Structure 1
Amino acid sequence: MNPAAIVLGILGILLGLFVPIIGLILGVIGIVLSSKGSVGHRNTGFVLSVLAILVSVVSWIFGAIILMSLYGY
């Protein structure tokens, strides 16, 4: 049993809100590690890692929109 993908997925979601690049990296690593886990942990780790990537991308886009509005674009 290797819960590393689950831990990386959770950390990726949390860190993806504030530092999107870290969340993206942790999400990708979590997906890679989830393919090597047991069946239950594989699905959970995969889902959490995909959510981490989505949260990171949305946070990145939201940050870009805020920056663009501050500079008048």
Structure 2
Amino acid sequence: MILLGVLYGNVEELSTHYKRINEQYPVIVGREFWHRLTGREDFYMELINAIGEVAIEVDGSDLLIR
């Protein structure tokens, strides 16, 4: 079986390209993708929260071009 996994978002946000692919192959998006991959229903939200925490801690201002 072939399927396409999209790491984030939801089905309503899919581009026309992904919707076209979904006509032939299942496109699994965001929360459902991570649930199928890990077997944990809460994994997607835990991942989002962890990324948010790291983003708050990192000061990337020195990486910006002035």
Interval of TM-score (by shorter of Structure 1 and Structure 2): 0.3 to 0.5
Between structure 1 and structure 2, the one with the greater Rg is 2
Higher helix proportion: 1
- Using the size of structure 1 for normalisation, the TM-score is 0.33
Higher strand proportion: 2
Higher relative contact order (CA 8 A, sep 6+): 1
